[in-house]
Amino acid sequence: MSKRAIGDVRPSQVITTFGPGAIVDLQTLSVIVAGIDGWPTDETDVIHELRLERALRVKRFFPARATEGSFFSKNGTVPTFLFPRYQVCPVCQTLSAFGEGDIEYDTKWREMICKAPGCKGRGKHRATTLPAPFIIACPAGHIDDFPWREYAHRGPTPCRKRLRLYSIAKTGSVADILIECVCGNGTRSASEAFGEKHADALGPCMRKRPWLGVGNQDSAACRHSDEVRAMQRGATNAWFPVVRSALVVKEGASPIGLAIIACNPKQIEKIDSVEKLKALIEMEMFPTLVQFPIEDIWHAIKKLRGEVETDDIDLRWPEWTAFRDPASASSDKGELFLQEGEVPKGFSKLIERVVLARKLLEVRALLGFTRVDTVGGGGDDTLRPDIAPIYKNRPDWLPAVEVRGEGIFIELREDAVAAWEARSALYP
């Protein structure tokens, strides 16, 4: 991991576009954003959003640090690793990985230059090399250098001769791109890497996680092992963030949580078992809780005490509650300022309520990412198992951004929605 500043990315983009595991093109170099283990954090930047912290089981959030000053005096930027490690020389077409000897950083560490024997770009005007155009990835998030050498030789090879990558510019497709080994035993068009038999051409997933360190490999088996595919380096499906967000509302809870909070906290504190809870409820100590099943109350108490690890903390319920009671849930001095609007004339049969959100603060935290496909629908329950991690060892924080905005909340009438659902035309 180089400590040198080599490019600019806005802090908010680190969540939405260029988080850990994403590839960032920096003109003549390409890098992969490092996992958060090595990110610099500064307590003065800390973001707290209690509900989101509880839901994600972290203690706090940090934004990607903004960089200040001139290009050469940057501190605290987000660390990256060189990726892909292969570069191509536009003059002699040498294709070589950093460390193999044919390419090296220039004296300012801003680009890599070709030092392949016979390159016409040698001497004072040595050629600046460019990142290799393809990489390989699997749907579990593993990513690796394209297996150039094996691909050219159609299988594992001891050959370490120079590789070349060039275009014969016939059709403008990947079929024009040739990978060649100067040994004479390997020349292959890139088209097979993108064709029907690409799995044979590219081999199984090697479970590489270069964003967690050079050579890092997932210790678990990859269940997409035979689904490796070649991608353009800048492909839009090479990185999709998995984000969870919460609006900053007053500390809220589920109906059962609100009912517990409304009880005498000293009495709730004394409850140390479900049997005790049952006894106290039978003694009519907690009239507001009678309506809920005992087991649910006990679970909710433990949840409020932080004794239950849970993914099912409902982030939307307290927001829903706030929007339905704008006057008591918000103020013009808080982060949430809501005003009751008017249901437009003629819509009162369909619309229950219109609320103008004059001021909103949303915290968006990055949990992980996927490649090839997104996690789907976008709801909270759609997280699928192969979200790639953004850290080696789980820290007590996650990267997040605060987004301020405004909006309109429209509540449909429940009876109108129910009537619409019941219409037979919906189920032809």
Examine residue 159 and tell whether it contacts Zn ion (CB under 5 A): yes
The CB-of-367 to Zn ion minimum distance in angstroms stands at 19
- Least distance to Zn ion from the beta carbon of 147, Å? 13
Nearer to Zn ion (CB atom), residue 158 or residue 293: 158
Rounded Cα distance between 132 and 28, Å, is 10
Site size for Zn ion, by CB under 5 A?
Answer: 19
Residue 361 dihedral angles phi and psi, to the nearest 5°: -130, 120
The reply on whether position 127 binds Zn ion by CB under 5 A is yes
Choose the stretch contacting Zn ion; rule: CB under 5 A; options: 17-25, 33-41, 181-189, 405-413. 181-189
CB of residue 7 to Zn ion, shortest distance in Å = 24
- Confirm or reject binding of residue 163 to Zn ion (CB under 5 A): no
From residue 420, how far is each of 184, 344, 415 by CA, in Å? 70, 20, 9
Widest CA span in the chain? 92
132 lies in the site for Zn ion, by CB under 5 A: no
Which two tokens mark 287?
């009239």
**Of 51, 142, 188, 208, the one binding Zn ion by CB under 5 A:** 142
Report the site for Zn ion in 362-401 (rule: CB under 5 A).
Answer: none
Q: Tell whether residue 161 is a contact of Zn ion (CB under 5 A).
A: yes
Within 192-251, the residues that bind Zn ion by CB under 5 A are 205, 222, 224
Please, are residues 118 and 92 in contact by the beta-carbon 8 Å criterion?
Answer: yes
First to last CA, the chain: 59
**Is residue 281 near Zn ion by the rule CB under 5 A?**
no
d(CA 28, CA 39): 24
DSSP 120-178: TT-GGGPPBPEE-SEEEE-TTS-EEE--HHHHHHTS-----PPEEEEE--SSSSGGGEE
| Residue 138 interacts with Zn ion (CB under 5 A): yes or no | yes
CB of 378 to Zn ion, least distance (A): 24
State the Cα–Cα distance between residues 363 and 359, nearest whole angstrom.
14
CB of 98 to Zn ion, least distance (A): 14
When asked if residue 181 is in the footprint of Zn ion (CB under 5 A), the reply is yes
> Going by DSSP bridges, is the β-strand pair 112-114/103-105 parallel, antiparallel, or unpaired?
antiparallel
Report the interface residues with Zn ion, using CB under 5 A: 89, 91-92, 94, 114, 116, 119, 127, 138, 140, 142, 159, 161, 181, 183, 186, 205, 222, 224
